[in-house]
Amino acid sequence: MTATTDPHDSDSGHVFCTIIPPHLLDHLSQSDNARRAEAARRTLDVDAQARTRRHDFAVATKRASLVAPVADANPERTVYDAQHRTTLPGKKVRTEGQQQVQDVSVNRAYNGLGATFELYLKVYGRDSIDGHGLPLHASVHYDREYNNAFWDGKQMVFGDGDGDIFLDFTIPVDVIGHELTHGVTQHTANLRYQGQSGALNESCSDVFGSLIKQYSLHQRADEADWLIGVGLLAPDVEGEALRSMKAPGTAYDDDVLGKDPQPATMDDYVDTEEDQGGVHINSGIPNHAFYLFATELGGYAWEKAGQIWYDVLTGGDLTKTATFADFARLTVAAAGERFGQGAEHDAVVKAWSQVGVPTS
């Protein structure tokens, strides 16, 4: 996901979170194809307007001890049709417990909200995004040819895509899970959206977005594709997805989109002032560490690897400005606390070592 924010907001966590990075849209806006360029420019303009008028949803960082695990709870979902406008939320079209409607975008959004709620509840004992039963709201058909989806601090919003480069943003369940996980981060560690802490913010959303997809498909770590956003790229685009956790830098290589810029290890870390200090680019490094850890352990990735990442994200020791090394050290400690000094501990140390991040 991408979050954009005013420079003065990056410390506060009041970010406007979108799945397509601004630099990718900037690249598309320079296309020789007038329709393609216009769709990208329009998306950038709409994003800027939405960012300007958004409410600042301030949240206090909650420690794990303040959010007691729950054994049973139910989602409270509402899906709206924005009717190709930018006024939110739009017309209410499906509420919790109602049967499917004819609009497949509405049904996919509803199901994606449910899949995210289920993983956090059934696996981690978390009652919705905030841990306290937050109702889940989403709007589909936002604007026209809008090439993005975002979490605005209060709800999910989905564009239909331009049909040329991007398809309907409700298609990949991991994109929905990714964006909603920004809400989880907002209510827990509240990682600053800049540099390595921002890349960790992005990476945690990719990790749990992938786990939500794997959980819904009942896939083991060695069965998963570890791709983020499969089905989002139009058929003529040369690429599989937006990102690859298994092989960062290989998700797409297209004449229009360019080549996936993500590094897999610290050897290729990108030092840049763009993209909030490379938050969408360098997130490939902790992404790859998680993939290595989860596949080394085997089995279902949400059970052990995901539990350790969740413990760190919600445990209260992760600071807003954490570096990769800070996060890595906390995962090693969390592995020891939960599973002892055995295979899990050794595997997480090995994974971070493979991507060049120290754990001591």
**Cα distance between residue 348 and residue 293, in whole Å:** 5
Closest CA to 194 of 8, 63, 68: 8
Closest CA to 109 of 147, 155, 74: 155
Q: What is residue 224's three-state secondary structure? A: coil
Instruction: Tell me, yes or no, if 280 is annotated catalytic.
Output: yes
Given the residues 137, 178, 179, 345, select the one marked as catalytic: 179
DSSP class per residue in 244-261: ESSSTT-SBEETTTEE--
Exposure string over 309-325, b if 16+ CB within 10 A, otherwise e: bbbbbbbeebbbebebe
| CB 312 within 8 Å of CB 326 | no
* Dihedral of the alpha carbons of 288, 291, 292, 296, in degrees to the nearest 10: 180
* Other CB atoms within 10 Å distance of the CB of residue 352: 27
CA 122 to chain centre: 19
Active site residue 179: yes
Sheet bearing 91-95, strands edge to edge: 2-4, 16-18, 149-151, 156-158, 136-140, 77-81, 91-95
**Catalytic option among 178, 182, 187, 280:** 280
Q: Is 270 helix (H, G, I), strand (E, B) or coil?
A: coil
Residues paired with residue 258 on neighbouring β-strands, in sequence order = 254
Amino acid (one-letter) located at 6 = D
Give the residue ranges of DSSP H helices in 2-33.
22-29
Q: Which residue has the tokens 């959206």?
A: 193
Q: How far apart are CA 144 and CA 323, in angstroms?
A: 38
Catalytic residue positions, numbered = 179, 280
